[in-house]
Structure 1
């Protein structure tokens, strides 16, 4: 059999040391230079080995601090289905409730942000038209599990109580129910998942290593008139979340 590459051999050594309780959950690992000397490899090999173990959930990276043995953490399930949307409210809340976890999120919204070219195409509006941009960090029992950046045409919600997704009387209701409150029926969503790697900023927010495998979901909601009313980019780290699509089948 072909011999394992050095970074996988090093990952096996580190994994075994964790299993032997040489380092307990929450412990900071020695520096890469020290580990490289102990394992007889280069620092680049140690870095790749650590990234492998981060993606598997054994380690976690903390920006500016180092690499730590991960606390036991259950991989959560995110369900994408028509039923979740039709039930109203935020589907994330229902997902976490089924797992016995408390769903919370942190959000920052900016009104009247000019639409970049790609967002303008997705929303069917002229480039530079104003949008409400909202950045979300979703948490399960206080720990981040996914990110989302949402764009809504300002013309759709301006002058209503729903102009800010997380402000006013409709805060936290989710796109479908919020739009319904101002007389817009959301009848369709289109999602385009694709594999990717976490950027430095995303890794910092999620507590994972830069370059860790993620699924990027480009989602757009459409009204019953066929108008895009919201588009979002979701970042779902493979080590923290399992994505399940439920497809209804009519008999």
Structure 2
């Protein structure tokens, strides 16, 4: 799994491309719920008040039909309400990803912050992923920010540690270089 801003693609999914590169069929299943009150931890990550409404989307990423990664995404409902992108996997921008969906409503996403940490799988995660309860997983807390500094999406991504290697690609900003 390569984590990189350079992997955002309007024409397809980096996950599908990764699966194809290793000879597997990549896909996902999702379910979105609109107007879900934000729990305290999610509200803090989105910079909103606890209980404010969000769109929550849960994902099971599949390799040859088997779950290999889980994700739960939260977006502030007031940001996308009444637009064609209110549901991440619905409408004309379905599956296009946060950066491209937000651009469709005039919001420029400038960066994302990811915080990976090892932990043990919960019983539910282990059951879905087909791993032992308490097996090691990498939990990534990701938040996308607009160029105005507003968090526009936050997600919890869970990947079994034994099934993949996570590699971060950091683009070099030429302004950092000395003359």
* Bin for the TM-score computed over the shorter chain: over 0.9
| TM-score normalised by structure 2 residue count | 0.92
For the pair 1:237 / 2:160, whether they are aligned, the reply is yes
In structure 2, how many angstroms separate the alpha carbons of the residues matched to 1:182 and 1:92? Answer: 24
What's the counterpart of residue 63 of structure 2?
140
SS at match of 1:201: helix
Structure of larger gyration radius:
1
Q: Displacement of 1:95 after TM fit?
A: 1.9
Indicate the structure with greater helix content: 1
In structure 1, how many angstroms separate the alpha carbons of the residues matched to 2:13 and 2:145? Answer: 17
What's the counterpart of residue 196 of structure 1?
119
Q: Displacement of 1:91 after TM fit?
A: 2.5
Structure 1 vs Structure 2 CA RMSD: 1.2
More contact order relative to length (CA 8 Å, sep ≥ 6): 2
In structure 2, how many angstroms separate the alpha carbons of the residues matched to 1:176 and 1:95? Answer: 19
Q: Displacement of 1:168 after TM fit?
A: 1.1
Equivalent positions of 1:40-55 (< 5 A) are none
What's the counterpart of residue 171 of structure 1?
94
Q: Displacement of 1:224 after TM fit?
A: 0.9
Number of equivalent positions = 173
Moved more, 194-203 or 97-106: 97-106
What's the counterpart of residue 155 of structure 1?
78
In structure 1, how many angstroms separate the alpha carbons of the residues matched to 2:23 and 2:102? Answer: 29
Cα pair 1:145 1:241 within 8 Å, conserved: no
Indicate the structure with greater strand content: 2
Q: Displacement of 1:96 after TM fit?
A: 1.9
What's the counterpart of residue 218 of structure 1?
141
What's the counterpart of residue 111 of structure 1?
34
What's the counterpart of residue 121 of structure 1?
44
Q: Displacement of 1:166 after TM fit?
A: 0.8
Q: How big is each residue's C-alpha offset from its partner over 1:51-84, in whole Å with a ceiling of 9 and x where there is no partner? A: xxxxxxxxxxxxxxxxxxxxxxxxxxx1001211
| TM-score normalised by structure 1 residue count | 0.66
What's the counterpart of residue 106 of structure 2?
183
Give 4+ residue runs of structure 1 displaced > 6 Å after superposition: none
What's the counterpart of residue 75 of structure 1?
none
Q: Displacement of 1:142 after TM fit?
A: 1.1
In structure 1, how many angstroms separate the alpha carbons of the residues matched to 2:117 and 2:148? Answer: 28
